[in-house]
Amino acid sequence: MSAFLIVTPTWDATPWAKAMKAARPELDIRIWPETGRVEDITYAAAWLPPADVLKGLPKLKVIFSLGAGVDAILSDKTLPRGVPIVRVNDDDLTMRMSEYIVLQVLMHHRQQRRLDENQRNKIWDQFPTHAAKDMSVGIMGLGVLGQDAARKLAMMGFKVRGWSRGAKQIESVSSFAGHEQLDAFLGDTDILVCLLPATAETDGLINSALIAKLSRKGPFGAPILINAGRGRQQNEDDILACLNAGTLHAASLDVFRKEPLPKESALWRHPRVTVTPHIAADSDPAAICAYLARQIENFEKDGALQNIVDMRHGY
Amino acid sequence: MSAFLIVTPTWDATPWAKAMKAARPELDIRIWPETGRVEDITYAAAWLPPADVLKGLPKLKVIFSLGAGVDAILSDKTLPRGVPIVRVNDDDLTMRMSEYIVLQVLMHHRQQRRLDENQRNKIWDQFPTHAAKDMSVGIMGLGVLGQDAARKLAMMGFKVRGWSRGAKQIESVSSFAGHEQLDAFLGDTDILVCLLPATAETDGLINSALIAKLSRKGPFGAPILINAGRGRQQNEDDILACLNAGTLHAASLDVFRKEPLPKESALWRHPRVTVTPHIAADSDPAAICAYLARQIENFEKDGALQNIVDMRHGY
């Protein structure tokens, strides 16, 4: 008998258990810490699992990560060796992330915050605006999420550039790859969108030095930052300093070095910062469990798994 | 000698004169009220022209309306008979209108105002959200602007419905036509987007009776209104009453019965209303004058004009 263990210490596991039961009724679903007989457990679905939990499952065949970023799994240094880790790659999650990116880009492009302030002050000001083709959006990270956002932004009329470790070919998107093309990419980017995975290489990447390399040729004379990747990628003191110095025009941040964002952070009340609580692409249990059920079905038929994490790159 | 008269009493004409000179340097460009010899004037470009101005041009061959809506021209009851009126139909204007519609739909869909309020109060609340496929957006008016917005909303994942006088075929969009299908369209619409032209038929259309027919099956239990058509189409007292009664969830209004919106209007400070100052698709002089120059070139070659207003329908 095959059992499926849900390990989500920071989330309520109930909706996940319900959704998984609906997607694959024959599974014996268990919720950590009520593991039952550990020898029954062949599948685990986890988000921020505590140390030794997954390691203590002798018959484990597959680990499913319940979010787009696998750093929440890989932070468990006691992961069992040789057990494949599968990333979520789900249309619902992709659609939601693109909604967030398109929404935030349009809010900056159309100066919604200036309109909001005018509304509060009952000011009718038809200030001139610019066309989308005059704004260059640069996306760091061209995985499934980055590619979908890039296509949708191009369709809205923006000039879209993308940067990734290896070169990618995406219609209507100028691609830059690797460390040697990073500066050229940044110099051509008015709005920087970060969708990178959290790895040692991307840690602290968004700092004053990187912001200084962004384009100043855009309509606002200073660049804009949107981070929906991971908080560890950003230096929040640098971002605040650049905003206050005017070298960064505005920012939309969905992720933070410490989450929830501490009350004392100056980001909460900065007039040029939009703070959202790590909801850019929330995981919908029904959609994700349907994906897990399809993966399990294929795996039990012929051992095939999709979207296995490449441990060399960490995503 | 062919002269081109700009008649924009409520706008600064200078950028229009400059853009038209750049687009067609050989034109003799004049700015009302400095008309010079009226017999020279063969073309007029106007927005809200005063009475008798266009009528007083004996050699006028074409009138160009400088916005997407031609009601600003047709409100001049002294228009000369038999002179064709040409609408602006310009990619730049279409792109900008779709930006506005997609932005406002996404702001409602992703509950940006709730996120804004949480940010002001430093509240980290990851409330559950819904997928775009669970939200039905209904567009009234399927001209060039409505069709482009419909396609982009469909691509973002929304269920899109459209309503127009005559039936239209648009990929991924369910079309409804004419008075007899209006109720079915409204009953299936969670977010109503109004992009109708201002005609006698659409005057006061958005009132309590219409709002009562909208869907209550959407994620918020009450419908949302976005009006980027014309202010005359909306009954503002009805909209406020429905918002306060909870039969309308929220509204984004770019147009008003009286513009600028009077300071005493309760719309300015209503917590569920986004007010923008008729900027959904502002007219970019360079883009529109390039369009006018192409029209004049074709007209002088073989008398051809595109996008002539159909006076029977008033748009």
CB B46 within 8 A of CB B70: no
pLDDT at A200: 87
For residue A156, list chain B residues with Cβ-Cβ distance below 8 A: 95, 98-99, 102, 152
Q: What residues does A192 pair with on adjacent strands?
A: A138, A225
Query: Could you tell me the two tokens for A7?
Result: 């390990």
Query: Could you tell me the two tokens for A267?
Result: 């980001």
Q: How far is CA B37 from the centre of its chain?
A: 35
pLDDT at B198: 86
Catalytic hit among B96, B230, B232, B249: B230
Cβ distance A131 to B287 less than 8 Å, yes or no, reads yes
Phi, psi (rounded to 5 degrees) for A302 = -140, 20
Query: Which distant-in-sequence residues (6+ apart) come within 8 Å of B236 by Cβ?
Result: B256, B257, B265, B267
Q: Which residue has the tokens 């400059």?
A: B18
Selection from A209, A210, A208, A260 nearest residue A231 by Cα:
A260
- What confidence tens digit (pLDDT) does each residue in B181-234 have? 999 999 999 999 999 988 888 999 999 999 999 999 999 999 999 999 999 999
- What confidence tens digit (pLDDT) does each residue in A51-85 have? 999 999 999 999 999 887 788 888 888 999 889 99
Q: Which residue has the tokens 């460009």?
A: B29
**What does the alpha-carbon distance between residue B111 and residue B117 come to, in Å, rounded to a whole number?**
10
Q: Where do the DSSP E strands lie in chain A?
A: 3-7, 28-31, 41-46, 62-65, 85-86, 136-140, 159-164, 173-177, 191-194, 224-227, 250-253, 273-275
**What does the alpha-carbon distance between residue A249 and residue B207 come to, in Å, rounded to a whole number?**
41
The mean predicted confidence, pLDDT, of chain B is 94
Cβ distance B278 to A126 less than 8 Å, yes or no, reads yes
For residue A284, list chain B residues with Cβ-Cβ distance below 8 A: 131
Q: Is A278 left (phi over 0), alpha (psi -120 to 50) or beta?
A: left
Mean pLDDT of B151-164: 97
Q: Between A and B, how many CB-CB pairs are < 8 A?
A: 115
Mean pLDDT of A98-122: 98
- What confidence tens digit (pLDDT) does each residue in A157-210 have? 999 999 999 989 998 999 999 999 999 999 999 999 999 988 888 999 999 999
Cβ distance A106 to B109 less than 8 Å, yes or no, reads no
pLDDT at B1: 67
**What does the alpha-carbon distance between residue B30 and residue B41 come to, in Å, rounded to a whole number?**
9
- A263, pLDDT greater than 90: yes
pLDDT at A212: 98
Selection from B103, B255, B94 nearest residue A110 by Cα:
B103
> Which of B103, B108, B113 to mutate to probe the A interface, most A CBs <10 Å?
B103
Q: How confident is the model at residue B88 (pLDDT cuts 50, 70, 90)?
A: confident
pLDDT at A1: 67
For residue A120, list chain B residues with Cβ-Cβ distance below 8 A: 269
- Among B118, B128, B282, the residue with its CB nearest the CB of A126 is B282
DSSP class of residue A221? S
Can you spell out the DSSP letters for B200-253? TTTTT-BSHHHHHHS-S-STTSS-EEEE-S-GGGB-HHHHHHHHHHTSS-EEEE
pLDDT at B70: 85
> Which of B96, B124, B256, B284 to mutate to probe the A interface, most A CBs <10 Å?
B124
In chain B, what percentage of residues exceed pLDDT 90? 84
**What does the alpha-carbon distance between residue A206 and residue A231 come to, in Å, rounded to a whole number?**
10
pTM (2 d.p.): 0.89
The mean predicted confidence, pLDDT, of chain A is 94
Enumerate the H helices of chain B as residue ranges.
14-23, 71-74, 91-109, 112-120, 144-155, 182-187, 208-213, 236-245, 285-302
pLDDT at A259: 95
Residue type, B282: D
For residue A115, list chain B residues with Cβ-Cβ distance below 8 A: 274, 276-277, 279
Pairing of strands A191-194, A136-140: parallel
> Which of A92, A99, A116, A278 to mutate to probe the B interface, most B CBs <10 Å?
A99
Cβ distance A287 to B112 less than 8 Å, yes or no, reads no
- What confidence tens digit (pLDDT) does each residue in B158-193 have? 999 999 999 999 989 999 999 999 999 999 999 999
**Counts of helices then strands in chain A (DSSP H, E):** 9, 12
Query: Which distant-in-sequence residues (6+ apart) come within 8 Å of B204 by Cβ?
Result: B232, B233, B234, B235
Query: What ipTM is given for this predicted complex?
Result: 0.88
Residue predicted with more confidence, B285 or B120? B120
Selection from A167, A144, A181, A199 nearest residue A312 by Cα:
A199
CB A55 within 8 A of CB A29: no
Q: How confident is the model at residue B73 (pLDDT cuts 50, 70, 90)?
A: confident
For residue A18, list chain B residues with Cβ-Cβ distance below 8 A: none
Cβ distance B152 to A156 less than 8 Å, yes or no, reads yes
**What does the alpha-carbon distance between residue A139 and residue A147 come to, in Å, rounded to a whole number?**
9
Distance from CA of B132 to the nearest CA of A (A): 8
The three-state secondary structure class of A160 is: strand
Cβ distance A274 to B119 less than 8 Å, yes or no, reads yes
Greatest Cα-to-Cα distance within chain A, rounded to the nearest angstrom: 68
**What does the alpha-carbon distance between residue B197 and residue B182 come to, in Å, rounded to a whole number?**
16
Distance from CA of A26 to the nearest CA of B (A): 27
Query: Could you tell me the two tokens for B182?
Result: 């209006």
Cβ distance B92 to A131 less than 8 Å, yes or no, reads yes
Q: How far is CA B140 from the centre of its chain?
A: 11
- Among B261, B276, B284, the residue with its CB nearest the CB of A131 is B284
Q: How confident is the model at residue B283 (pLDDT cuts 50, 70, 90)?
A: confident
pLDDT at B68: 73
Q: Provide the annotated active-site residues of A.
A: 230, 278
Query: Which distant-in-sequence residues (6+ apart) come within 8 Å of B75 by Cβ?
Result: B48
Q: Where do the DSSP E strands lie in A167-238?
A: 173-177, 191-194, 224-227
- What confidence tens digit (pLDDT) does each residue in B16-57 have? 999 999 999 999 999 999 999 999 999 999 999 999 999 999
Cβ distance B106 to A110 less than 8 Å, yes or no, reads no
Minimum mean pLDDT range among A37-41, A87-91, A245-249, B113-117: A87-91
Query: Could you tell me the two tokens for A80?
Result: 């069992």
